[in-house]
């Protein structure tokens, strides 16, 4: 009885430690893009096994790459106020255990994706490779332009979902990928400005440190607008109902408004609001793409 | 003043309701009135989302005041387009000039009295149109009585505008805290009245 209770406690403790490693909000948003990519090709769909396979394999592959990112960046995380309380830099988890977890999640996720479709698996692997090897290990500490590769990695789940639905990589899939790629700077650059000194202390080159805040704000505004344009174009090409296109246009105008606001009256609150709105916008767009008929 | 969980839920409900209205549109209308109504409901949606994200402080922003002007102007314009075809041209000119004038009053250097006059006039005419026109067309039996809910929405938004104006002028009828506490519910009620009114006619 005691042994069972103690095992349960251990499992609970592990889950509590592992959860922050997968950045649940970011993983959920990327998972939503993957589902939307799939639904954009096959909606309405109620093929439960495929949806379960897509959700499960994507969740595991994204979580695996995020955990490996945390493992590689543990020295940087320890220097930054925002991240030093994470389980790895705070010493609650060992580097070896984190590496093992990241590899296990990645391998299971990719193996599961290979069972669903070879093309889908290739795209998932490309996303994992761009995120872990190109972005995290190779470029993040060398150039502020690494975010482009981080963005491409972030665009892979939606492309994978679309590829699973259509069986090919088409123009719509590429546009959807671009929309996520353009959305990523809003996320990463906002954090780079908000936690500027943290990144400086850790020696990570960022847009604000290389080009200054005004250029960074302009980049965020431009990429937000480009994200809205590409997702709008993709929606029209998919044949989304006009009502949903109208709604998307209204939501895009809010994004445009905040982007202009961040350029005209730059301050931290507006910048962070643009980031929050852009996340909400991306989620809403994905829901619209998923429920369109 | 910070948004409570209930405030957030109310703003979220408003956003979902306006999203629904924008997505389904209004049956039997041409592209121009649909565009104009989309502007109105779109302004409601974006305003609700901005308050949800930025909090009540956003109500002080000039940009939000200008965006919010689109709500009465577009809805009034759409109704005039539908029910008073002879006044279409005049009303469109009034709406465009009114919108530009409010934009100017917020961003150009102008005496506060003139700015207040512009806002009062533009909102006043649009508000009266939204309030009176449904009463007129229902009385003339041109549409079902459900359309009167749009008048109710117009009255509520007018009331909210007045209370906010009195507050800004320093002679509040309701204190800031009480007004902001009531704001999310009032905002939702206005949206419900508009959505039901436009669909039950």
pLDDT of A12 above 90: no
pLDDT of A232 above 80: yes
pLDDT of A251 above 60: yes
What are the structure tokens assigned to B149, written together?
A: 């809910």
Domain of residue B64: give its range. Answer: 5-199
The beta-carbon contacts of B144-147 under 8 Å, at least 24 apart in sequence, are B144/B200, B144/B201, B146/B196, B146/B197, B146/B199, B146/B200, B146/B201, B147/B197, B147/B198, B147/B200, B147/B201
CB contact under 8 A, A276 and B53: yes
Mean pLDDT calculated for residue range B54-80: 87
A277: closest chain B residue by CA: B53
pLDDT of A159 above 90: yes
Any B CB within 8 A of A280 CB: yes
Distance from chain centroid for Cα A210: 24
CB contact under 8 A, B54 and A246: no
**Local confidence band at A4 (pLDDT 50, 70, 90 cut-offs):** confident
Cβ-based neighbours of A48, under 8 Å, separated by 6 or more: none
At A212-227, the pLDDT tens digits run 999 999 999 899 889 9
Instruction: Name which of B26, B33, B46, B106 to mutate to probe chain A: the one with the most chain A Cβ atoms within 10 A of its Cβ.
Output: B46
pLDDT of B173 above 80: no
The pLDDT score that the predictor gives to residue A279 is 87
The proportion of chain B whose per-residue pLDDT surpasses 70, expressed as a percent, equals: 98
- Nearest residue, CB atoms, B46 vs list A253, A276, A284: A253
| pTM, full prediction | 0.86
Higher pLDDT, A196 or A1: A196
**What is the total count of domains within chain B?**
1
CB contact under 8 A, B67 and A257: yes
At A90-138, the pLDDT tens digits run 888 999 999 999 999 999 999 999 999 999 999 999 999 999 999 999 9
**ipTM of model:** 0.88
Any A CB within 8 A of B49 CB: yes
CB contact under 8 A, A280 and B53: yes
Mean pLDDT calculated for residue range A178-187: 91
Mean pLDDT calculated for residue range A164-171: 94
The C-alpha atoms of residue A200 and residue A203 are separated, in whole angstroms, by 5
Contact residues, chain A, for B22 at CB < 8 Å: 243, 246-247, 250
Contact residues, chain B, for A242 at CB < 8 Å: 25
Name the maximum alpha-carbon separation found in chain B: 47
The pLDDT score that the predictor gives to residue A2 is 63
Other CB atoms closer than 10 Å to residue B109's CB: what's the count? 5
Give A74-131 as a 3 state SS string.
HHHHHHCCCCCCCCCCCCCCCHHHHHHHHHHHHHHHHHHHHHHCHHHHHHHHHHHHHH
pLDDT of B174 above 80: no
The C-alpha atoms of residue A93 and residue A86 are separated, in whole angstroms, by 9
Rounded to a whole number, what is the distance in Å from the CA of B49 to chain A's nearest CA?
Answer: 8
Any B CB within 8 A of A1 CB: no
Mean pLDDT calculated for residue range B179-195: 93
Give residues 219 to 278 of A whose Cβ lies within 8 Å of B.
241-244, 246-247, 249-251, 253-254, 257-258, 261, 269, 273, 276-277
The pLDDT score that the predictor gives to residue A274 is 86
B161: left (phi over 0), alpha (psi -120 to 50) or beta: alpha
Confirm if A77 and A83 have CB atoms less than 8 A apart.
Answer: yes
pLDDT of A54 above 80: yes
Rounded to a whole number, what is the distance in Å from the CA of B33 to chain A's nearest CA?
Answer: 13
pLDDT of A46 above 80: no
Side-chain-side CA neighbours of residue A264 (13 Å): 10
């Amino acid at each position: 009885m005691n042994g069972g209770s103690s095992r349960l406690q251990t499992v609970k403790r592990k889950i509590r430690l592992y959860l922050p490693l997968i950045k649940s909000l970011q993983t959920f948003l990327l998972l939503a893009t993957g589902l939307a990519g799939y639904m954009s090709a096959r909606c309405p769909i109620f093929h439960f096994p495929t949806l379960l396979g897509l959700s499960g394999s994507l969740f595991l592959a994204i979580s695996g790459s995020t955990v490996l990112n945390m493992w590689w960046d543990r020295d940087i995380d320890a220097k930054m106020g925002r991240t030093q309380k994470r389980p790895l830099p705070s010493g609650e988890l060992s580097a070896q255990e984190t590496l093992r977890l990241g590899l296990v999640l990645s391998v299971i996720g990719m193996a599961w994706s290979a069972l669903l479709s070879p093309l889908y698996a290739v795209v998932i692997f490309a996303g994992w490779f761009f995120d872990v090897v190109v972005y995290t290990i190779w470029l993040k500490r060398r150039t502020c332009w690494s975010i482009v590769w981080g963005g491409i990695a972030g665009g892979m789940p939606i492309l994978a979902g679309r590829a699973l639905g259509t069986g090919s990589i088409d123009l719509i899939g590429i546009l959807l990928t671009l929309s996520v790629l353009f959305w990523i700077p809003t996320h990463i650059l906002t954090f780079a400005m908000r936690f500027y000194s943290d990144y400086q202390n850790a020696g990570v080159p960022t847009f604000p440190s290389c080009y200054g805040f005004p250029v960074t704000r302009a980049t965020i505004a431009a990429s937000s607008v480009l994200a809205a344009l590409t997702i709008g174009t993709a929606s029209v090409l998919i044949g989304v109902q006009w009502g949903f296109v109208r709604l998307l246009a209204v939501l895009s105008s809010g994004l445009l408004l905040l982007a202009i606001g961040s350029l005209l009256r730059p301050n931290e609150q507006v910048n962070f609001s643009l980031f929050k709105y852009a996340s909400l916008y991306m989620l809403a767009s994905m829901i619209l793409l998923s429920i369109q008929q | 003043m910070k948004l409570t969980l209930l405030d957030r839920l109310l703003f979220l409900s408003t956003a979902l309701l306006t999203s629904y209205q924008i997505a389904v549109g209004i049956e039997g209308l041409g592209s121009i009135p649909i565009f104009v109504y989309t502007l109105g409901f779109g302004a409601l949606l974006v305003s609700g989302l901005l308050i949800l994200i930025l909090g009540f402080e956003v109500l002080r922003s000039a940009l939000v005041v200008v965006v919010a002007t689109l709500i009465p102007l577009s809805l009034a314009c759409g109704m005039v387009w539908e029910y008073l075809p002879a006044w279409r041209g005049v009303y469109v000119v009034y709406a465009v000039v009114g919108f530009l004038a409010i934009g100017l009053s917020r961003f150009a250097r102008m005496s506060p009295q003139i700015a207040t006059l512009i806002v009062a006039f533009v909102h006043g005419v649009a508000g009266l149109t939204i309030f009176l026109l449904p009463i007129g067309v229902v009385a003339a039996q041109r549409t079902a009585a459900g359309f009167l809910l749009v008048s109710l929405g117009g009255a509520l938004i007018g009331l909210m505008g007045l209370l906010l104006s009195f507050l800004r002028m320093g002679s509040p009828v309701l204190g800031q805290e009480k007004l902001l506490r009531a704001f999310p519910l009032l905002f939702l009620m206005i949206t419900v009245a508009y959505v039901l009114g436009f669909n039950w006619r």
